[in-house]
Amino acid sequence: MMQLREISDFHTVHTPELKERAQHSGRTTHTRHYIAQEDDVELAFVSIDCWPVDKPFFLYELFVARKQRNKGIGTRILQQIEKMSIEQGYRSIALTPKPIDNNHDNYTQRQIIRWYEKRGYRPNSEFVRQFDKQLFLEKPIEGA
């Protein structure tokens, strides 16, 4: 079963390309970094911002290791991230789709946008280049 393991130090990451992403990814007080892994195999690096619940849950980076691509792993991770955000009381997820691995893959900006659109993400009317997905809460937010 795939799990998201929170990391606080990039030295705990063993896969070189994921370690590099973790090392160079930005961080604020609201940022959380994760390694997606299954059967002790590191699959992807994830960076999110958990702002106060009245703001969207923000997915900054979803980077699947090259050897793990085109296996449905990105979709499975995105589903876990959506579930995590619902459990924390968020009503939406925001992200900016963009190619990260410019030197090594063939994914264009348009292909990445289509990938997110297939998974329910739509352009944000207020912020250029940002996409959002409204979440259906499985449990009501307390005090809402």
Residue 41 in any domain: the answer is: yes
**Confidence (pTM):** 0.86
Residue 140 in any domain: the answer is: no
Here the CATH number for the domain that contains residue 10 is: 3.40.630.30
Is 74 buried (19+), middle (13-18) or exposed (0-12) by CB count in 10 A? buried
Owning domain of residue 86: 3-134
Residue 68 in any domain: the answer is: yes
30 and 49 Cβ atoms separated by less than 8 Å = yes
Q: Between these two residues, 25 and 121, which has the higher pLDDT value?
A: 121
50 pLDDT tier (thresholds 50, 70, 90): confident
Per-residue pLDDT, averaged over 39-55, amounts to: 89
Residue 143 in any domain: the answer is: no
Closest CA to 96 of 70, 66, 62: 62
Distance from C-alpha of 142 to C-alpha of 87, rounded to nearest angstrom? 12
Residue 32 in any domain: the answer is: yes
CA atoms within a 13 Å half-sphere pointing along the CA-CB vector of 125: 0
Residue 97 in any domain: the answer is: yes
Residue 142 in any domain: the answer is: no
